[in-house]
Structure 1
Amino acid sequence: MSRYRFLLTPTWLGWLAVCVGFAVACVFLGQWQLDRREQAMEDINRVVANYDEDPVPYAEVRELYRSPEADDEWTVTTLRGEYLSDDVRLVRNRGHSGSVGYEQVVPFRTHDGDVVVISRGWLPTDSTDASRPAYMPEPPRGEAEVTVRLKPGEPDIDRDAPDGQLASIDLDEYETQLGYDLVTGAYGLMAGEDPAPDQQPRQLARPELDEGPHLSYSMQWYAFGLLGFVGWGYAARLTARNRDLDVIAEEEDGKERAAGTASSGVSRQERLREARRRRRERAGRASDEDVEDAWVDERLGSR
């Protein structure tokens, strides 16, 4: 253990503290990735549990649209009533299949008097004027039946939008613009409507059931934390070995001086190299280079 006493010096203890701090940071980052994976798995489980279920009448899940829980997302619902087409809005900057466009939202008054916001789907931007959609399909007039999937309302993103548009599906902001009561807990994402109009927005894609690379990333962070200690230990081992070689070289110098055979022309680097070679020979780990050097020394000595 005495050969590793240098590890108790302030320099080596300081580097150990750096390794500990790095490992702690890696543990937090690894846990953060695991938390993200857990959230992704919860999202996937909600899709699996709700997305393809048979629709239930709005009257049976009315309270879910007022105060939805996380597990209520994607609940399939049937509503009967009529669109309030004059109050349609466009939600800006909505992505779909790698493109950015608009999402068309329309209030829908049910038979029991509730007004639920329906997202009818996605619209591409006009090729000549990105401030408006390429087309604006009208909702069905009169009595209609719509099948939707429940989505919680979105938060205010503190961004302005032109008249007739919304920055996000912030149901409270939408209600303020309209001046009448909306169901503000959740809205319905279109799955189908009857009667079907001649022209409809594009339906948004089914959510992907992909948990992402969070598990592998978390394992990488934990591995990085361990590698800091491995590097510290490897550096300590090299330092201890070099210190041993210094001692061996000094002993050899002392023996040569005592015998009167010391050579002042031999550099310290060469003496260290010789000490390493002798150490390998004693340990039975002579390299090919050592064998060649020994053969050359033997031949030269025999002349």
Structure 2
Amino acid sequence: MTDQRTIDRDPPAVSAGSPTNPSAGAVGWSFLRSGRWAGYAAMLLIFSIACVLLGNWQFARRAEARAEIDRIDSNYGAAPVALTDELPDLATFDEDRQKWSTVEVRGEYIGDPFLARNRPGPEGVGSDLIQALRTADGSLFFVDRGWVPVDGAEAENVDATELPTPPAGEVTVEARLRASEPAISGRTTSGRAVASIELPELAKLADATGNAYTGAYGMLISESPEAEHGDLPAKPARDEGPHLSYAVQWYIFIIIAVIGVIYAAKREYRTLNAGSDEVIEQDRKTAERKRRRGPSDADIEDALLDD
């Protein structure tokens, strides 16, 4: 018969992974090789690539805005040059170099104006008044004589006598150059109302195909003799917009995502390796750092609440 006192004195068996053997069963960082964490890494990579693309797009938008500011500074207040010197070819226009350039041209306004409809203006939506100017050499140059409060529906049937009348006879015009606008899909010309300032279309409507400036038109600055015209646009703002801050934000999102993934990996590491020598040592060092710093504001508040 077995002595009960002998049984009581025998030490209990130690199972693998029990607290008295803390390193047993520790998985380390091997969990990062799992399919789940491979998926997290793939999502982080895709998110980072998307952020880089969006950030670079914002950098490109900023570069475009800065280029526009440079054009305004160089061309908007420059002295006028003869139209034939600035545009020796009727169909070409270098927007990067020539946008906002000031030109002077002599000629005679002909025909009724065209109305480029659905244009924002000081009184809401209206139309731009586009008038053909026959130059001294016989070619047509289209001049935007300002905004008028005629909306899209009215533009199709408006009487030309209700619109500002250009000066009769020879006139000297100063204007700033703008590129021909593209056609707008699904929108067509109705009468003298056009969907955009598409110069080849205007040349066709004015029966001047092959003899009209189709690369650029002019935004009216002044004309002599003077006559009534629409509202002329203000000088464009020299503003590059928030593109730089938006671009930086996209890269900050990448950093935040990486930090989040690292934090999640450390949390899972501590959970899977709870009781291991390494985790215990980390906890000891953390407690020591807190002790050296003294109690935090939160600890003091908790103690006051307990009291």
TM-score by length of 1: 0.78
Asked if the contact 2:156–2:191 (Cα under 8 Å) also holds between the matched residues in 1, the reply is no
Tell me the CA shift for residue 175 of structure 1: 1.4
Report Cα offsets for 1:197-230 as digits up to 9, x if no partner.
1x22111121111111111101011111222211
Asked if the contact 2:76–2:101 (Cα under 8 Å) also holds between the matched residues in 1, the reply is yes
Which amino acid counterpart does residue 80 of structure 2 have in structure 1? Answer: P
Within 2, Cα distance between the matches of 1:178 and 1:282?
A: 83
Give the equivalent residue in structure 2 for 1:208: 237
Within 1, Cα distance between the matches of 2:285 and 2:212?
A: 88
Within 2, Cα distance between the matches of 1:195 and 1:188?
A: 17
Q: 1:282 to 1:202 in 2, by over 3 A?
A: closer
Within 2, Cα distance between the matches of 1:205 and 1:82?
A: 26
Which amino acid counterpart does residue 146 of structure 2 have in structure 1? Answer: G
**Superposed, which structure 2 residues align to 1:191-270 within 5 Å?**
191-197=221-227, 199-245=228-274, 247=275
Report Cα offsets for 1:234-285 as digits up to 9, x if no partner.
101111122233x36xx9xxxxxxxxxxxxxxxxxxxxxxx99x95698334
Give the equivalent residue in structure 1 for 2:83: 58
**Superposed, which structure 2 residues align to 1:1-303 within 5 Å?**
3-63=28-88, 66-70=91-95, 71-84=97-110, 86-97=111-122, 99-125=124-150, 135-158=162-185, 159-180=187-208, 181-197=211-227, 199-245=228-274, 247=275, 279=283, 283-284=287-288, 285=290, 288=299
Q: 1:151 to 1:130 in 2, by over 3 A?
A: closer
Report Cα offsets for 1:33-90 as digits up to 9, x if no partner.
1111111111111111000001112232232653111211111011111001x23100
Asked if the contact 1:47–1:74 (Cα under 8 Å) also holds between the matched residues in 2, the reply is yes
Provide the aligned C-alpha RMSD in A. Answer: 3.1
Within 2, Cα distance between the matches of 1:184 and 1:59?
A: 14
Asked if the contact 1:125–1:131 (Cα under 8 Å) also holds between the matched residues in 2, the reply is no
Within 1, Cα distance between the matches of 2:178 and 2:154?
A: 30
Could you tell me which runs of 5 or more consecutive residues in structure 1 were left unpaired when the two chains were aligned.
Answer: 252-274, 296-303
Asked if the contact 1:102–1:133 (Cα under 8 Å) also holds between the matched residues in 2, the reply is no
Q: 1:243 to 1:97 in 2, by over 3 A?
A: farther
Which amino acid counterpart does residue 186 of structure 1 have in structure 2? Answer: A
Q: 1:208 to 1:236 in 2, by over 3 A?
A: same
Asked if the contact 1:76–1:148 (Cα under 8 Å) also holds between the matched residues in 2, the reply is yes
Asked if the contact 1:65–1:187 (Cα under 8 Å) also holds between the matched residues in 2, the reply is no
Within 1, Cα distance between the matches of 2:270 and 2:170?
A: 88
Which amino acid counterpart does residue 4 of structure 1 have in structure 2? Answer: W
Q: 1:223 to 1:281 in 2, by over 3 A?
A: closer
Could you tell me which runs of 5 or more consecutive residues in structure 2 were left unpaired when the two chains were aligned.
Answer: 1-25
Tell me the CA shift for residue 144 of structure 1: 0.5
Within 2, Cα distance between the matches of 1:65 and 1:124?
A: 31
Within 1, Cα distance between the matches of 2:199 and 2:177?
A: 13
- Equivalent residue pairs, number: 263
- What's the % identity of the aligned pairs? 34
